[in-house]
């Protein structure tokens, strides 16, 4: 126990000790972008499912007795909605990314990934991909050079490219069209994590990769615990890839299946995306106006997305600013290394329909005041 106490004390000294905290104040930190987590539409769908006997728990893995009709109905509907040949439902985005990267690249393949790729992808790559090349953030030329260099040095397998369409801590967007062209030139697989684009961007919220879904060179991951307001994740790809995951993916085979009620909730969220486009329209207006005001008042670069980082560098300063905003009624959280690179501790401001433009304007004004008070 002393060992852990010492390590925790060191984290506290460096301003990196983490604690679980209750929700409080106006929501500027969740990923519930469309405010669907508590929506009446999803609540009604769950009530109706319970009334017709859908169980809360699956009771087993999908390959045993855990495969519920609700799982299959969701996968069929999600494939139609996102334009994929097949989909496979996992209980979390972390598990889905781990499954992809720990299994699919072969020993002779190479994975080229963005330096800011999500931790779930990195953990999967560590477990499976023997050859990995990290490249500069959002630099398509660096991806091309990495693949060409690997080929010229004797690489004979298939290249895999790993990116997020909207980066979770920076809020900027990947150059997907350029990466798609690179994928086609090199017969590479482009795997796009749409976690923070699903439900927000693209036609009817289908994501920034919507134009590329169904392409045999593309796989997409759509998480369900962010804009879709539920939990779980959908891996979208070709039928052979999905069947291979079912047969060989240890995270899929040896995990109890997701709750059938979560499959109901996700399917209801997809219906909302199609039937209530005004939600996305309101969010996009909030994104545009708040990016503009925070740039003007706080000199924070706009991202064009619902994620706006305020980079302070120092972990203690970051937590001090977060605490000041929380005391003024805004639920803003600090993000510190190792979640983000050293020297880039930040506030991660998240825009959702749980707040309105008036609340956003008040938060920006408070942030400007607290930044001035904090000093350089």
Domain annotation for the chain: domains and CATH numbers: 23-37+277-374 (3.90.1150.10), 54-274 (3.40.640.10)
233 with 199: CB under 8 angstroms? no
pLDDT at 2: 83
b/e burial code for range 326-342 (CB count within 10 A of at least 16 → b):
bebebbbbbbbeebbee
Active site residue 212: no
Catalytic residue among 138, 168, 215, 259: 168
Q: Indicate yes or no: pTM above 0.75.
A: yes
Active site residue 213: no
Q: What SS3 class is residue 197?
A: coil
Active site residue 75: no
Catalytic residue among 32, 68, 70, 164: 164
- Sole residue written with tokens 């990769």: 209
Please list the residues that pair with 313 across neighbouring strands: 345
The residues near 163 (Cβ < 8 Å, ≥ 6 apart) are 113, 114, 117, 174, 176, 179, 190, 191, 192, 193
Active site residue 193: yes
Listed as ranges, residues in the chain with pLDDT below 70 are none
Burial class (CB in 10 A: 0-12, 13-18, 19+), 157: middle
Asked if omega into 240 is within 30° of 0 (cis), the reply is: no
pLDDT at 375: 77
pLDDT at 157: 94
Closest to 111 in 3D by CA, of 58, 178, 159, 164: 159
Active site residue 173: no
pLDDT at 19: 84
* Interior angle at CA 69, CA 65 and CA 72, nearest 5: 100
Catalytic residue among 71, 173, 222, 226: 226
Residue 91's CB: how many other CB atoms inside 10 A?
20
Active site residue 31: yes
pLDDT at 151: 95
Active site residue 217: no
């Amino acid at each position: 126990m002393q060992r852990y106490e010492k390590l925790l004390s060191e984290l506290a000294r460096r301003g990196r000790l983490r604690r679980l905290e209750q929700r409080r104040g106006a929501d500027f930190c969740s990923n519930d972008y469309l405010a669907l987590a508590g929506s009446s539409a999803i609540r009604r769908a769950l009530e109706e499912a319970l009334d017709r006997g859908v169980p809360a728990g699956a009771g087993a893995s999908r390959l045993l007795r855990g495969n519920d009709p609700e799982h299959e109905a969701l996968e069929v509907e999600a494939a139609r909605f996102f334009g994929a040949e097949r989909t496979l439902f996992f209980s979390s985005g972390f598990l889905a990314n781990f499954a992809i990267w720990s299994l699919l690249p072969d020993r002779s393949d190479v994975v080229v990934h963005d330096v800011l790729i999500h931790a779930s992808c990195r953990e999967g790559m560590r477990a499976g991909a023997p050859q990995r090349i990290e490249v500069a953030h959002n630099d398509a030329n660096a991806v091309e050079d990495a693949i060409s260099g690997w080929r010229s040095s004797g690489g004979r397998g298939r290249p895999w490219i790993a990116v997020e369409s909207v980066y979770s801590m920076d809020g900027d967007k990947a150059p997907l069209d350029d990466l798609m062209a690179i994928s086609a030139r090199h017969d590479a697989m482009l795997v796009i994590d749409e976690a923070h684009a699903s439900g927000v961007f693209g036609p009817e919220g289908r994501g920034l990769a919507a134009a590329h879904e169904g392409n045999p060179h593309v796989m997409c991951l759509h998480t369900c615990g962010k804009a879709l307001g539920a939990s779980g994740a959908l891996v979208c790809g070709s039928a052979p890839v999905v069947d291979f995951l079912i047969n060989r993916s240890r995270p899929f085979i040896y995990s109890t299946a997701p709750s059938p009620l979560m499959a109901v909730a996700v399917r209801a969220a997809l219906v909302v995306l199609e039937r209530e486009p005004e939600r996305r329209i309101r969010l996009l207006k909030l994104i545009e106006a708040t990016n503009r005001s925070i740039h003007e008042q706080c000199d924070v670069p706009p991202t064009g997305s619902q994620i706006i980082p305020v980079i302070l560098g120092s972990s203690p300063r970051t937590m001090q600013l977060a605490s000041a905003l929380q005391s003024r009624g805004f639920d803003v959280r600090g993000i510190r290394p190792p979640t983000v690179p050293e020297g880039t501790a930040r506030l991660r401001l998240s825009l959702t329909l749980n707040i309105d433009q008036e609340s956003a304007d008040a938060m920006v004004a408070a942030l400007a005041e607290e930044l001035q008070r904090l000093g350089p």
